[in-house]
A and B are shown apart, each in its own frame.
Chain A
Amino acid sequence: AQSVTQLDSHVSVSEGTPVLLRCNYSSSYSPSLFWYVQHPNKGLQLLLKYTSAATLVKGINGFEAEFKKSETSFHLTKPSAHMSDAAEYFCVVSSSGYALNFGKGTSLLVTP
């Protein structure tokens, strides 16, 4: 079975400072991993995905994530937070290609 654990339910950063949202995965197979973002009352938008190519994945809006098999982690980072980054972030794992299993989400708050 595949699952993800998002280690922080809430993260607060100041505008212009780095963002780190942590995710650990558990999978019986070589997983595909995704980060999705959900702004209030909006749908889910894909930020980036890992599919066993490069371990450092670059996504939209300056986000990137590094797949570390030895640590079973796929943490999301951004060098400098913007106010518009405030949203809910979901780490997602897919092994079969069918069901996507979501983490519990991390709420990112960006303060001026």
Chain B
Amino acid sequence: AAGVIQSPRHLIKEKRETATLKCYPIPRHDTVYWYQQGPGQDPQFLISFYEKMQSDKGSIPDRFSAQQFSDYHSELNMSSLELGDSALYFCASSGGTGKGTEAFFGQGTRLTVV
């Protein structure tokens, strides 16, 4: 079965550079979530989209932005990268947002800022 696809799997950037992470949800899923997981930390919710509109916002820095496109894939744009942005970034998708809707997670993009 198709799963959530994230690209790239690994990314190395220098401070102050820009990075773009991509997420391709499971077919027919209309909701995408982004999470940031620092080393030894629990995943922190960044932002979510439902039907191409932002549905919820968490602890996403102002330097980051995201959007969901007409084909439901999503991109997380990160500018002015800092060392502290080094983390595993997960994308998840779900089919709707009803009570108990399960979110399926991708393998993550490991971003290293040097």
B107 within 8 A of A: yes
Interface size class of A (residues with CB under 8 A): 20 to 34
Q: Which of B21-29, B50-58, B62-70, B73-81 lies at the binding interface? A: B50-58
- What number of A-B contacts does a CB cutoff of 8 Å give? 63
Name the residue of chain A whose CB is nearest to the CB of B103. Answer: A100
For A100, list chain B residues within 8 Å (CB).
Answer: 33, 45, 92, 103
Contact call A101/B106, Cβ cutoff below 8 A: no
Q: In the complex, how many angstroms separate the beta carbon of B14 from the nearest chain A beta carbon? A: 24
Taking a contact as CB atoms under 8 Å apart, the answer to whether A99 and B42 are in contact is no
Q: Give the docked Cα–Cα distance between A38 and B96 (Å).
A: 24
A-B contact pairs, 15 of them (CB 8 A): A44-B90, A44-B92, A46-B103, A51-B99, A52-B100, A90-B42, A94-B100, A96-B56, A97-B98, A97-B99, A98-B55, A98-B97, A100-B103, A102-B44, A104-B42
